[in-house]
Structure 1
């Protein structure tokens, strides 16, 4: 719908054009009729400014529609009776009646009233004769038919627009709910992963410390000083291991470095695990050529963190080879291979963190492969496509 300012401009311009054309191009037979026709234009414009303008946009007072329709019908009828050219005032009257009425019923009824006033004015303005009746009836019927057809069409378009706006609002709200649910699901998955890590590392180590401490106390009470000293040394070593596990857990849950260069972030992460001294790590980032978005970097770095942690904690690997590749188009791949003791992927326990990695990669639209055999090491491969490529491929799959 047009705003008040646009309707102001339309009414002013069209009224001025009709008045100028009436005076200079299509003047009535007498000056009196010209004055009456010009007065009708002024009355119509005043009715819009004083009554109809505030009903163009909601909220609309109930009295404005019948008041504007009455004054507009009188102005159009008197104008058409004073000069046949004044029937052009219908070009303003019909659309304003539909806009101010704001409903199909009022629009059709108001159009009928305007058409009736045109018929009466045109029929009796130059005398009640057959020619005047035919001219007035023809003008009224054609203008009414055209006004109703256009009004219904525009009303349908307006309703369609309102329906689309409503559906868009519902879709936006639904998307917000989906995002909230996704965040909640991600947070829940992260809490579960953290709980598994704590259970598999700190909880088990602390349980072992309790057992060793009880043994050392019992040996000390029984006078077994050498055995108690040996157990205390074991407690110290287990405590150091627990401290290292806690630091590794903090490193895995810390925020990913906000670096634009993905290769630099990978090197920094690898250095963290090298500092633990649990085997050599060989890093190859020569294949990093393109740039990655923030989400893809997070997924790859989290997967690398988990893979290095597993290699050090479970596989007892002496050598870990890390290869990272990013092509210019944004497709990224990560490969982590170790020479550890391996495992059977189908019989994996939750402690390896593979379930969390699979969920994270799946949400990013990527693929993950784990190849491992007991006694022959493990190889992890992750591949992620750029977001725009995922969208194109999904669209092709839906189309097919």
Structure 2
């Protein structure tokens, strides 16, 4: 819908142009008719400014439409009667009736009133005979039909625009809600990731510190000075590792060992568990034929750490076998098998370890398989998407 200022410009321009045409090319005979014609133009313009202008946009007072319609019909009818040329004022009166009326019913009713005023003005202004009646009726009927057709079409376009605006507002509100939910989901995922990182790094390292501290205390009380000193040295090293892991978490980076060769990182992690527990751990990492990206290294190392921790703390394993395979462009596979007490994988898990491992692997697009039976040991197999380009590397492996 046009703004009020544009309607002001339209009314002003049409009024001035019609007045100038009446004074020049379509001047009626007699000063009275000319004066009445000019007065009708002024009446329509003043009626718009004083009454109709405030009803162009809502809120609209209910009295404005009938009063403006009466003024417009009077101006058009009297003007047409004074000078047939002023029937052109209906081109301004019709759209204003639709705009001020603001409904199909009022627009059609207002158009009928304007058409009746045009007919009355044309009939009475031209002698009131049958010929004048036929001429006036033809003008009124054709202009009325055209006005109603155009009015209904414009009303449909306006309603369509309003409906689209409503749907757009609803869409924007829905998008805002989706963004809020996405932010909440992202925050929840970040909390879950942080919980996994703390469980995989700090929690396990601190648990190890408690075990070594207890061992050092027992050794000291038993007079095993050298053994206690060695254990205290291990506590110091583990504490340094915990500090590094904490700094990595603060910096929002995974606690990945710093060696540039992936096999060395795996070997370092295995050596730590060898030193911390009684289990014999064999490692085969010589089948890594490509350099892995950092995200894949993080997943493999964290899964290896969790599997070795479970074998040491829960399974009571004596022997653990670790194998890492990564073909160029192919999948990366981690297999950790132990001879511990085993468990039922279908039973509800009491801890966070396996669930956290499974979720971490799923986020990386991989798969986690856990095979175990009570008294028959456990095998954990992790398969991740392919490795990167091939690089020369040193095979790292060993057996305890």
How has the CA–CA distance of structure 1 residues 279 and 380 changed in structure 2, closer, same or farther, with 3 Å as cutoff?
farther
**Equivalent residue, structure 2, for 1:214:** 214
In 1, the alpha carbon distance for the partners of 2:78 and 2:97 equals 18
- Displacement of 1:279 in angstroms is 3.2
In 1, the alpha carbon distance for the partners of 2:250 and 2:303 equals 18
How has the CA–CA distance of structure 1 residues 69 and 115 changed in structure 2, closer, same or farther, with 3 Å as cutoff?
same
**Equivalent residue, structure 2, for 1:307:** 296
**Which has the higher relative contact order, 1 or 2, with Cα contacts under 8 A spaced 6 or more apart?**
2
In 2, the alpha carbon distance for the partners of 1:155 and 1:224 equals 98
Q: Deviations over 1:314-347 (max 9, x none)?
A: 5699x999x9xxxxxxxxxxx7998x96569xx9
**Equivalent residue, structure 1, for 2:78:** 78
* Structure label with greater radius of gyration: 2
In 2, the alpha carbon distance for the partners of 1:320 and 1:250 equals 31
The root-mean-square deviation of aligned C-alpha atoms, in Å, is 3.7
How has the CA–CA distance of structure 1 residues 349 and 107 changed in structure 2, closer, same or farther, with 3 Å as cutoff?
same
C-alpha contact (below 8 Å) 1:205/1:238 kept by paired residues: yes
Correspondence 1:1-400 to 2 at 5 A: 1-253=1-253, 273-274=258-259, 279=264, 304-310=293-299, 342=335, 349-350=354-355, 355-356=359-360, 359=363, 368=365, 380-381=385-386
Q: Deviations over 1:81-100 (max 9, x none)?
A: 11111110000000001111
How has the CA–CA distance of structure 1 residues 305 and 84 changed in structure 2, closer, same or farther, with 3 Å as cutoff?
same
Select the structure that is richer in helix. Answer: 1
How has the CA–CA distance of structure 1 residues 337 and 238 changed in structure 2, closer, same or farther, with 3 Å as cutoff?
farther
Query: How many pairs are equivalent?
Result: 324
Using structure 2 for the length normalisation, give the TM-score.
Answer: 0.70
Q: Deviations over 1:168-209 (max 9, x none)?
A: 010111111111111211221121121111112211221121
How has the CA–CA distance of structure 1 residues 351 and 248 changed in structure 2, closer, same or farther, with 3 Å as cutoff?
farther
User: Mean alpha-carbon deviation: is it higher for 243-252 or for 96-105?
Assistant: 243-252
In 1, the alpha carbon distance for the partners of 2:361 and 2:89 equals 73
Q: Deviations over 1:142-188 (max 9, x none)?
A: 11111111111100100000000000010111111111111211221
- Displacement of 1:231 in angstroms is 2.4
In 1, the alpha carbon distance for the partners of 2:258 and 2:173 equals 44
C-alpha contact (below 8 Å) 1:278/1:312 kept by paired residues: no
Q: Deviations over 1:103-143 (max 9, x none)?
A: 11111111111111111111112322101111121111111
C-alpha contact (below 8 Å) 1:370/1:381 kept by paired residues: no
C-alpha contact (below 8 Å) 1:315/1:377 kept by paired residues: no
How has the CA–CA distance of structure 1 residues 357 and 28 changed in structure 2, closer, same or farther, with 3 Å as cutoff?
farther
Tell me, which stretches of 5 or more residues in structure 2 are unaligned?
Answer: 267-291, 306-321, 338-344, 346-352, 370-378, 389-400
Tell me, which stretches of 5 or more residues in structure 1 are unaligned?
Answer: 255-268, 282-302, 324-334, 362-367, 384-400
How has the CA–CA distance of structure 1 residues 98 and 375 changed in structure 2, closer, same or farther, with 3 Å as cutoff?
closer
- Displacement of 1:238 in angstroms is 2.0
In 2, the alpha carbon distance for the partners of 1:240 and 1:320 equals 30
In 2, the alpha carbon distance for the partners of 1:356 and 1:160 equals 50
**Equivalent residue, structure 2, for 1:396:** none
In 2, the alpha carbon distance for the partners of 1:159 and 1:188 equals 43
Q: Deviations over 1:33-55 (max 9, x none)?
A: 12111110011111111211121
C-alpha contact (below 8 Å) 1:82/1:125 kept by paired residues: yes
Using structure 1 for the length normalisation, give the TM-score.
Answer: 0.70
C-alpha contact (below 8 Å) 1:252/1:306 kept by paired residues: no
C-alpha contact (below 8 Å) 2:200/2:302 kept by paired residues: no
